[in-house]
Chain A
Amino acid sequence: MTGRTMSGATTHLDTVEHAGQSPDTIQPWAELGLKADEYQRIRAILGRRPTSAELAMYSVMWSEHCSYKSSKVHLRQFGDKTTEQMRSVLLAGIGENAGVVDVGDGWAVTFKVESHNHPSYIEPYQGAATGVGGIVRDILAMGARPIAVMDQLRFGAIDHPDTARVVHGVVAGVGGYGNCLGLPNIGGELVFDPCYQGNPLVNALCVGALRHEDLHLANATGEGNLVVLFGARTGGDGIGGVSVLASETFDEKGPSRRPAVQVGDPFAEKVLIECCLELFTAGVVEGIQDLGGAGLSCATSELASAGDGGMAVRLEEVPLRDATLRPEEILMSESQERMMAIVRPDRIDEFMAIARKWDVEAAVIGEVTAGERLTITWHDELIVDVPPRTVAHEGPVYQRPFERPGSQDALQADSALALPRPKTGDELRETVLRLAGSPNLASKEWVTAQYDRYVMGNTALAMPDDAGVVRVDEESGLGVAVATDCNARFAKLDPYAGAQLALSEAYRNVATAGATPLAVTDCLNFGSPEDPGVMWQFAETTRGLADACQVLGTPVTGGNVSLYNSTGDDAIHPTPVVGVLGVMDDVTRRTPSGWRQPGQVIYLLGTTREELSGSEWAWVTHGHLGGVPPKVDLGAERLLGQILVNASRDGLVDAAHDLSDGGLAQALVEACLRYDVGARVWLDEVCERDGISPFTALFSESVARVIVSVPRTEEVRFTDMCTARGQVHARIGVVDSPDEDATLDVQGLFSIPLTELRQAWEPLLRNTFS
């Protein structure tokens, strides 16, 4: 669909009456992404052929992106496996725009991660920018003030000629939009892997805070209440973006699809945020919904579907940027920075006055009606007359076939344990440096320096620390920590375990910062669901994540699924990005990831096993991916979390850093470089206790491990606590003096001056992309 009119659409207005009279009109359902049986189902629901406007609505709302038709049957587990006790922290859960978590003192926090993958490959800047804009509106629609963003980025090989194009655009887009909105960017992920070459992943997370009483839900209730569209005008951008971009795999020979990507205006969104918050405070909003994917089609049908009546919309009242837009295009337009509110007639003047104050254009485009139909007219002619639930909530559901790929056994049999290993001190030293300077472990400062982390004045931790921490209540210091993680190599080797490992790591990172993990959001990025092997990965991932959430007591509150991340037969690694939100009573007690005080003792918490398959070491030094990932140990993870939170609260640790990609070696590197303070480390005791070699101690990626630095005055209390609770711990080092000769010294093996370490770790991204 590229022209000004929908191909195949009749040139005159296709009214409901006309549709009833012309059942045999050929309609472009296939071009709009519908399957033959889906089109027949629409005809059955309506008892006639759909009008072109109805066809537009159904096609976009029944797309994979909006309907979750392939994933729904699996996603149900997140609700089914949430116990009453887990539910007790939730004020709103899956199904709303975002989950809302009670964090105490009358405060609630809402957070969600969402993908904008396909648009970001085509038009990296705008794709990424509008990804941020979209997730921020989701949070705003809950009645919350957005307080922070994060971005989870995955690109192709760092040295591939096309990677720089995407990296530059995406990073500038995330920054350009988020910075201009005035939201601190408090962290995220940055991964390079050839599997993302043609399908980069751009996920964005937003956190918002609200008082319990300010919670707003997306429904249209109260006959006679007005439907108000406000924010930016509706234009021709992003028409069909949802169905065209999210439901088809890229084909190099296809037509240029640039016009399908939306264009963002962060200033309009900033003003919209302030306007909405003032509207909420004034109490003039009965229900609210953001306009994202599927635009007006989605907002009108979802609001009406979730409400207790119907809705009548006069489409010609929609303020337009382009007066030539046809009604179908207005319904499908994904113009950004728009919201829809339900307002009582006696409050509309107040509503409009607040909108005027912020120079936000607002128009009454319809009202809530008594019936159960969503009707849309165009200059008094009826062009849509549908049951809204059939559009919004009762779309097709597929039981896609899934099957463990035959290649999975061979993949798992190809263990990294057989790979040649460094043995001597010199070889280990060289490996530490090589890993520190590798694309996924090197400093991410080139990216994070393009993001404002200070705005709002509440950021207590941000990259490069383990979690982002922001204050919610300025009086008490109450705040939240958020971390997101996913090692997609682990997920490729074993999707069930991989999803649990992603949760495990994010949970650990939140606890490492000193916060108690409470709730989960996820962004499930996968290949084509029409591939049974990919669908098996998806089924295993959702099962693994839901099971692990139950064990850890952290409910999935909402999230997003992105399918069709494949080019030809090549799918990305399954990439279930898991975000964990934790709460802390006083964010100034947060634990940073680097040590600063000379003489403090360094403890390694947790057990190290010989687990190298899927590790950063195997990938960087051997280009190897095979075997089975590290063993999941959620019990150990939960205990470790409790130890870390208590230690933070009681002032027993001054620094804590989790062990994940690159193992102990990389954790030591980062903890030293955080404040340029060296350390002397010995591994003999750990090697003897766990029955491992120094190489394994340094590079294994076993779960449930962190390093902490403990003030000598607190050492006895700390070790007593570990012993009493059964937390495995070993004293492995001492923090050195911060001077020019600072080194990371691993006794008996090697010593690396921090200047040399920094030289290895710091410049890669800057040199590659500047």
Chain B
Amino acid sequence: MRVGVVTFPGSLDDQDAARAVRLAGGEAVSLWHGDCDLRGVDAVVLPGGFSYGDYLRCGAISRFAPVMEPLIAAAKGGLSVLGICNGFQVLCEAHLLPGALIRNDHRMFVCRDQRLSIERTDTPWTNQYQRGEEIVIPLKNGEGGYVADDATLDMLEGEGRVVARYVGGNPNGSYRNIAGVSNEAGNVVGLMPHPEHATEPFFGPDPRSGTTGLDGMRFFTSLLEKVAAA
């Protein structure tokens, strides 16, 4: 199982995503933004960070990176793609996912352990969770407010494409408490909080969260399960 992790200039959580892949039992393959090549990987993670400094709209430059050309084509063909935080923003800018992410409504960067409810479980990234299951993983963003027009939001809800919702307080003003969405087929998932930061004991969410701190691991083991089954 080879999972590509893309590094854009300004990617920050790329090593963390790679570590999570390894901890889940996969092989992490580093993909460079400037290479028009997916190196034959079975899935791709677009990691968190501030690609190109996020000085323009977040993800607006990265989506034009050479690596995105084969990635967009492969995603449309069914390749499993997870965009985390900045990666979610890139996926929206690339129109692989609907909607956009804007500055948090309170205007401040927020870093906290965030409770989520998992709502779509037939994706390659979430099939190890129960529908409605609540998990806690770190959230850290300045521009994490998920927005879309009502028609799009209604469509997402109607088609069951909301992958995760914030529980216990909306941390950034996201419409309808949406923390993550998927494309229609479910192979492309974007998520604002960081599952890769809840995969190793002692280095994830604080025990105050009432969890083991490992709630993010199944995003990565789900993938292995899916590929093994395929």
Contact = CB atoms under 8 A, between A and B. Distances in A.
Contact of B12 (A270, A448, A587, A674): A270
A176 interface: yes
A132 to B, nearest CB: 14
A266 B53 contact: yes
A358 B32 CA distance: 11
Interface in A711-770: 770
Nearest to B14: A182
A265 B53 contact: yes
B203 A471 contact: yes
Interface string B23-63: 00000000000100000000000001110111100000000
B111 A676 contact: no
B53 A456 contact: no
Most chain B CB inside 10 Å of its own CB: which residue of A172, A267, A268, A770: A267
Given A267-B53, A270-B50, A182 B12 contact: yes
A592 B140 CA distance: 22
Contact of B108 (A172, A271, A453, A457): A172
A459 interface: yes
Nearest to B52: A267
A359 B9 contact: yes
A671 interface: no
A454 B53 contact: no
Given A180-B53, A271-B10, A359-B9, A451 B202 contact: no
Contacts of A412: none
Nearest to A168: B108
A740 to B, nearest CB: 14
Interface in A656-685: 674-676
A449 interface: yes
Nearest to A592: B207
Contacts of B16: 455-457
Contact of A179 (B109, B197, B204): B109
A590 B140 CA distance: 24
Nearest to A451: B111
A449 B194 CA distance: 15
B203 A180 contact: no
A455 B202 contact: no
B15 A587 contact: no
Contacts of A471: 203
B208 A452 contact: no
B138 interface: yes
A175 interface: yes
Nearest to A471: B203
B168 interface: no
A588 interface: yes
A456 B208 CA distance: 21
A456 B112 CA distance: 16
B12 A176 contact: no
Q: How large is the interface on A (under 10, 10 to 19, 20 to 34, 35 or more residues)?
A: 35 or more
Interface string A148-172: 0000000000000000000000001
B173 to A, nearest CB: 14
Most chain B CB inside 10 Å of its own CB: which residue of A452, A456, A460: A452
Nearest to A461: B202
Given A180-B10, A270-B10, A587-B202, A450 B109 contact: yes
Given A179-B142, A266-B53, A449-B111, A454 B9 contact: no
A596 interface: yes
Given A449-B111, A588-B202, A267 B9 contact: yes
Given A179-B140, A265-B53, A266-B50, A457 B202 contact: no
Contacts of A454: 111, 138, 140, 194, 197, 203-204
B10 A450 contact: no
Interface string B169-194: 00000000000000000000000001
A717 B9 CA distance: 53
A450 B12 contact: no
Interface in A453-489: 453-460, 471, 474
A588 B53 CA distance: 33
Most chain A CB inside 10 Å of its own CB: which residue of B142, B194, B201: B142
Contacts of B93: none
Contacts of B10: 180, 267, 270-271
Given A179-B140, A179-B142, A180-B50, A271 B200 contact: no
B203 A459 contact: yes
B103 interface: no
Nearest to A360: B9
Contacts of A457: 15-16, 19, 196-197, 200, 203
Nearest to A465: B206
A268 B109 CA distance: 20
Nearest to A676: B208
Contacts of A266: 50, 53
B215 interface: no
Contacts of A592: 207
Interface string B94-114: 000000000000101111100
B9 A182 contact: no
B53 A596 contact: no
B13 interface: yes
Contacts of B207: 592, 596, 675
A401 to B, nearest CB: 47
A460 B213 CA distance: 12
8 contacts: A172-B109, A179-B142, A182-B13, A450-B108, A450-B109, A451-B111, A457-B203, A459-B203
Interface of A: 172, 175-176, 179-182, 265-268, 270-271, 357-359, 448-460, 471, 474, 587-588, 590, 592, 596, 674-676, 770
Given A587-B202, A596-B207, 8 more contacts: A182-B13, A267-B50, A267-B54, A449-B112, A452-B111, A452-B140, A455-B16, A457-B203
The 7 closest A-B pairs by CB, nearest first: A267-B53, A182-B12, A457-B16, A180-B50, A588-B202, A454-B197, A454-B138
